[in-house]
Structure 1
Amino acid sequence: MPKRIKKQQHWTNKITRFIAKLILVILMIAGISKFSSTQTNDNPTSKTLATQVQQVTQYHFIRTIAPIVKTTSAPYHLLSSITLAQACLESDFGQSSLASQYHNLFGVKAYGDVPKIKLDTKEFVNGKWITISGSFRVYENDTASIQGHARLLANGTTWNPKQYASVLQAKDYKTAANALYTSGYATDPTYAKKIIEMIETYHLDQYDAKTPPTTP
């Protein structure tokens, strides 16, 4: 066999062995990475800790704003559970950028000459979700946001002062939640269901004023 052919075969064999080793190393690295990822994801302690931290954050938010909500809701005959549930849902327990940066806990839109910020938001229109740019109210603090929300439900909109009258008239949170949706507060067709689930999951109805029993 000519020397040139032998030399070519020699280099071909070396390249083949190198590629084989390289593939083996890649497979080993991929296997280790997958194993590490599986171990982390399947670690019940990590999951439990993350869940506990999330719950602590959520309940802290509720306990922080509950006294303000109760004080603000009473004069307008609003159910505190509804306001609390809306704040939790709309602001992701105070974690959304609209809430954390601009103190807008309820996704209240801005109209007229008021402090505002333009942000993208999702709306359910013609049977599907779309992203639009909207102007939202900016508040000085969370208390101002809660007070503004109460006034909105009590006074309605500039084009319909009675828009949320059915929410004010509701005697229980389920009726009020459905009234919010039918009154046009949100476009999400599952909005009432989400509000009710929020109230029942976090027992927010405990903050509603209890009607004293009628003396016969």
Structure 2
Amino acid sequence: MAKLKRLLLWGGILLIGGILMLGAAANEMMSSILGDNQQTNITEDMLNGLPDWITPEMVQGAIDMMHENGYPASVVLGQMILEGGAGGSELSNPPYYNCLGQKSPSYGENGTVTMQTEEAWGTVTAVFSTFASYKDCMLAWAHKFTMPPYVSHVTICPRDPATGHYDADSFIEAIWRAGYATDPNYVQKVINIMTIYNLYQFNNMTAEDLEDQVTGNGQFTHPCPDMTYQSSYFGEIRPYEQGGHKGHDYAAPVGTPTYAADAGTVTIAGWSDSAGNWVVIDHGNGLVTKYMHHSRIVVVAGQSVRKGQKIGEVGSTGQSTGPHLHFQVEQNGIAVNPDYYL
């Protein structure tokens, strides 16, 4: 009987030890993915989907940027989970909104904050950018790769011939080599995150897939309500255009009226070899709309316009294959999906 009790006791100890070892192994696996110095609130339940901190707006923004410039959605989402500790880091949350670990100066930053961070050589104090929103942080991330030293590394990355998007694994390695992070394991950590959360699936989403998901805020009136049909969509990949299409095209007969989507000030009303007779309206706070290929313009630069005021008539001037209005919306110089505002 005593021997049986001893066996049961040792069996219980071994069982508890095994459980502890499994728990330690799981923690070690997550540490290898996120880095020992990354704060994270990742749980086993989250492995079946995205961390709760990642919002639909973040995913939508990542996909929109991919269609705009080819940067893989999986990479920016993977970096957000890594850099932001899946929402566990102070820097990644309000009021800082720096979900990508971007040091100052950054495009569109609205301030700075000094914090400690881990580099390859140890803990250092660094000045980070702060942003007004996660969207601004993501726009700054995209803008970074149009500038040295990143642009030379990014432009040689292989692209998917079907979509024109950069290969995700090659892209993260390229920006790491350009100096995005000092951690020698940074590339593999992001790849591990993209794999665990199946972030690669977002790289296969098309502009048409997004159309069914986007709900506008109603700020804009339609710039060409009498159109015949919509002939092209934001983000559409076309063989004669690098990157995704930067706006919507509304096919309509020559002479069909076009209207200001919102109140603002006309900054351009004239000729462009590519846009033909075009109008640009500044709505303030970095929001701009562009209207291209008119047959006739009825406003002038410097003029204030009302929402819904006629600004011109549809044509096929400039680089155009037929009568239509190209309508483009930009926020802080970056083209965004017009459906957000319509």
TM range (shorter): 0.5 to 0.7
* Aligned residue in 2 for 1:194: 189
* Aligned counterparts of 2:152 and 2:81: Cα–Cα separation in 1: 22
Whole-angstrom CA distance in 2 between matches of 1:153 and 1:139: 18
Of 40, 51, 56, the match for 1:58 = 51
Deviation of the 1:69 alpha carbon: 1.1
How much does 1:195 deviate?
1.1
Instruction: Report the alpha carbon displacement of residue 135 of structure 1 after superposing the two structures with TM.
Output: 0.4
Instruction: Report if the CA contact (8 A) 2:63-2:73 is conserved.
Output: yes
Q: 8 Å contact 1:79–1:209 — kept in the other structure?
A: no
Q: Determine the structure 2 residue equivalent to 1:69.
A: 62
Conserved 8 A contact 2:50-2:197: no
Instruction: Give 1:84-103 correspondences, 5 Å limit.
Output: 84-101=77-94, 102-103=96-97
Quick check: 1:106 aligned with 2:87? no
Task: Name the structure 2 match of 1:16.
Answer: none
CA deviations on 1:68-89 (whole Å, 9 max, x unpaired) are 1111332222111111111111
SS in 2 for 1:205: helix
**For 1:137 and 1:108, how far apart are their aligned partners in 2?**
6
The answer to whether structure 1 residue 203 and structure 2 residue 190 are counterparts is: no
Correspondence for 1:153 among 131, 138, 145: 145
Distance in structure 2 (CA, Å) of the matches to 1:85 and 1:144: 18
Give the residue type in structure 1 aligned to 2:60.
Answer: P
The DSSP-based 3-state class of the residue aligned with 1:73 is helix
Q: State the match for 1:116 in structure 2.
A: 112
Paired with 1:162 and 1:122, the residues of 2 have a C-alpha distance of: 22
Aligned to 2:252: none
Relative to 1, partners in 2 of residues 1:195 and 1:203: Cα closer, same or farther, differing over 3 Å? Answer: same
Q: What is the identity percentage for the equivalent residue pairs of Structure 1 and Structure 2?
A: 22
Matches within 5 A, 1:21-60: 51-52=44-45, 58=51
**2: CA distance between counterparts of 1:204 and 1:118?**
31
Give the secondary-structure state (helix, strand or coil) at the position aligned to 1:105: coil
Equivalent residue number for residue 144 of structure 1: 136
One-letter amino acid of the structure 1 residue matched with residue 112 of structure 2:
K
**8 Å Cα contact 1:103-1:141 kept in structure 2:** yes
**Partner of residue 166 from structure 1, selected from 132, 147, 153:** 153
Q: Cα offset for 1:64?
A: 4.3
3-state SS, counterpart of residue 100 of structure 1: coil
**Structure 2 counterpart SS, 1:107:** coil
> What's the secondary structure of 1:208's corresponding residue?
helix
Q: For residues 118 and 52 of structure 1, what CA distance do their matches in structure 2 show?
A: 34
Equivalent-residue separation in structure 1 for 2:155 and 2:140 (angstroms): 15
2:122 — aligned with what? Answer: 130
Q: Is the 8 A contact 1:76 1:168 kept in 2?
A: no
**Counterpart of 1:11?**
none
Q: What are the superposed Cα offsets for residues 84-125 of structure 1, whole Å, 9 maximum, x if unpaired?
A: 11111110122210001310011000138951000001111x
Query: Residues of 2 paired with 1:183 and 1:208: CA distance?
Result: 23
Distance 1:108 1:208, change over 3 A: same
Aligned position for 1:13: none
Q: How many residues align?
A: 162
CA distance in 1, matches of 2:46, 2:75: 25
Give me the whole-angstrom Cα distance separating, in 2, the residues matched to 1:210 and 1:70: 8
Instruction: Name which one, 1 or 2, has greater alpha-carbon Rg.
Output: 1
Higher helix fraction: Structure 1 or Structure 2?
Answer: 1
| Deviation of 1:144 (Å) | 0.9
TM-score, normalised via structure 1 length = 0.64
CA RMSD across the alignment: 3.1
Residue type of the alignment partner of 2:91: L
Instruction: Please report how far the alpha carbon of residue 203 of structure 1 lies from its aligned counterpart in structure 2 after TM superposition.
Output: 1.2
